[in-house]
């Protein structure tokens, strides 16, 4: 085989391999948080006829054990039969989960934060057309020695009405990984941090449920963290 032919084939193979790596890498990043979930969401104030807004959080996130940094995608959707009108999405952190930044949104003043929260951002979503959604990239930190919660209220632009609220929703793990590079967290799971100086797992969440061994082993490959918004009235139940 001539050296030119060898060079051509080698170059083609390298190009093909490089393309494959790019495709696989892109897929892995895109699928890292799993599908969006409305877990912990509930309707609040009655919206105009035909208007139905909801939110989604990833089913799982991953926390860097050395920096405590994590990334969360928050999505607001219009599932109604009419345009949403001018709305806004709030992203609020509680306990061990602190929202550091939400791309395209404005940080809430400390005096405006909901009681018990440590951080919050206001995202002016505007008017969502029927069937449309808008997603926001959330940068946060998660103290794995504590529980962590996040909340996504969807309000009118003036904040006088809350149409929808996803929260309180915890992110956590029943199987901490202190010696691993990162700890996967699942949405809707109370965090069970490792006790200082030992490997006992004290209960730190509101619930006491533990994932079945088989389910936990598969689900905790990649996971998630969530929040709370105090509203002093009973949520309207959807039927």
Position 1 scores a pLDDT of 54
Q: CA–CA separation, 205 vs 147, rounded Å? A: 6
Q: What is residue 86's predicted lDDT score, i.e. its pLDDT? A: 98
Exposure of 236 in the CB half-sphere (CA atoms within 13 A): 11
What's the DSSP call for residue 39?
A: T
CA dihedral sign of residues 37, 100, 229, 112: negative
> Any idea which fold 34-219 has?
Immunoglobulin-like (2.60.40)
Helix (H, G, I), strand (E, B) or coil at 117: strand
Residue 63 has what pLDDT?
96
Q: Is 7 helix (H, G, I), strand (E, B) or coil?
A: helix
Compute the C-alpha angle 180/95/92, nearest 5°. 105
**pLDDT (0 to 100) of residue 70:** 98
With residue 29 as reference, give the H or E element that holds it: helix 3-30
pLDDT per residue as tens, the chain (239 positions): 555 544 444 444 333 333 333 333 332 233 367 789 999 999 999 999 999 999 999 999 999 999 999 999 999 999 999 999 999 999 999 999 999 999 999 999 999 999 999 999 999 999 999 999 999 999 999 999 999 999 999 999 999 999 999 998 999 999 888 889 999 999 999 999 876 554 433 343 443 333 333 333 333 333 333 333 444 444 554 44
């Amino acid at each position: 085989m001539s050296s030119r032919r060898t060079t051509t084939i080698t170059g083609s193979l390298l190009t093909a391999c490089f393309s494959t790596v790019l495709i696989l890498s892109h897929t892995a990043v895109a699928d890292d948080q799993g599908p969006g979930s409305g877990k912990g969401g509930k309707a609040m104030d009655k919206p105009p006829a035909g208007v139905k807004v909801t939110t989604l959080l990833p089913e799982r996130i991953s926390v860097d054990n050395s920096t405590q940094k994590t990334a969360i995608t928050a999505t607001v959707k219009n599932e109604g039969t009419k345009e949403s009108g001018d709305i806004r999405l709030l992203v609020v952190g509680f306990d061990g989960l602190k929202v550091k930044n939400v791309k395209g949104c404005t940080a809430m003043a400390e005096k405006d934060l909901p009681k018990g929260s440590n951080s919050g951002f206001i995202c002016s979503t505007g008017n969502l057309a029927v069937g449309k959604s808008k997603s926001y990239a959330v940068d946060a930190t998660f103290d794995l020695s504590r529980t962590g919660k996040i909340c996504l209220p969807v309000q009118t632009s003036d904040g006088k009405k809350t149409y929808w609220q996803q929260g309180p929703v915890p992110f956590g793990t029943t199987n901490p990984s202190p010696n691993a590079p990162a700890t996967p967290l699942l949405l809707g799971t109370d965090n069970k941090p490792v006790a200082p100086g030992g490997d006992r797992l004290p209960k730190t969440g509101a619930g006491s449920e533990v994932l079945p061994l088989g389910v936990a082993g598969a689900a905790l490959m990649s996971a998630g963290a969530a929040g709370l918004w105090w509203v002093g009235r009973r949520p309207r139940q959807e039927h």
